[in-house]
């Protein structure tokens, strides 16, 4: 019988740097998604308040691995969950309800994964 032993030393400063890089990449991914949605012109738009001033990324819990894109207008929920509305397409030709759907389960569903991976490689210095 052969005896085997091993010793593992963790470089905690490197692990912390990787954790910090993940948080940074997560925050940047949320910003990229918000930008992507605005550029796709899928949010209903009249004055631009919903997609510009009233929709923002909340990074307050990013160190726990959670970011949120918040639309703070009282009508955002109603517009989002009622795709049957006839949206004015003068300002945003692709305006629709459930405007995040392409990024959740549609053709763009890998956007966040790919964006996070790229941003994490950059932030971690492995690119």
Residues 39-67: pLDDT tens digits? 999 999 888 889 889 999 999 999 999 99
**Cα–Cα dist 8/62, whole Å:** 30
pLDDT for res 127: 65
Contacts 24+ apart (CB under 8 A), 46-50: 46/88, 46/91, 48/91, 49/73, 50/75, 50/76, 50/79
What is the reported pTM? 0.87
Domain range summary for the chain, segments of one domain joined by +: 24-124
Look-up of token digits 């989002």: 80
Distance of CA 124 to the CA centre of its chain: 19
Question: How confident is the model at residue 48, as a pLDDT?
Answer: 82
Residue 1: predicted pLDDT: 80
- Sort residue 44 into left (φ over 0), alpha (ψ -120 to 50) or beta: beta
Tokens 């990024």 sit at which residue? 103
- Report helix, strand or coil for 15: helix
Burial 95-112 (b: 16+ CB within 10 A, else e): bbbebeebbeeeebeebb
Mind listing the pLDDT tens digit for each residue in 81-117? 998 989 999 999 999 999 999 999 988 999 999 999 9
The pLDDT score that the predictor gives to residue 106 is 84
- Give pLDDT, residue 126: 77
């Amino acid at each position: 019988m052969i005896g085997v032993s091993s010793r593992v030393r963790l470089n905690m400063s490197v692990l912390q740097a990787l954790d910090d890089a993940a948080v940074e990449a997560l925050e940047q991914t949320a910003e990229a998604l918000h930008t992507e949605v605005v550029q796709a012109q899928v949010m209903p738009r009249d004055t631009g308040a919903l997609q510009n001033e009233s929709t923002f990324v909340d990074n307050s819990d990013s160190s726990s691995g959670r970011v949120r894109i918040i639309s703070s207008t009282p009508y955002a929920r109603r517009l989002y969950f009622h795709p049957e509305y006839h949206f004015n397409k003068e300002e945003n030709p692709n305006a629709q309800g459930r405007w995040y759907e392409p990024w959740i389960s549609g053709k763009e569903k890998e956007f966040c994964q790919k964006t996070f991976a790229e941003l994490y490689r950059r932030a971690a210095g492995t690119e």
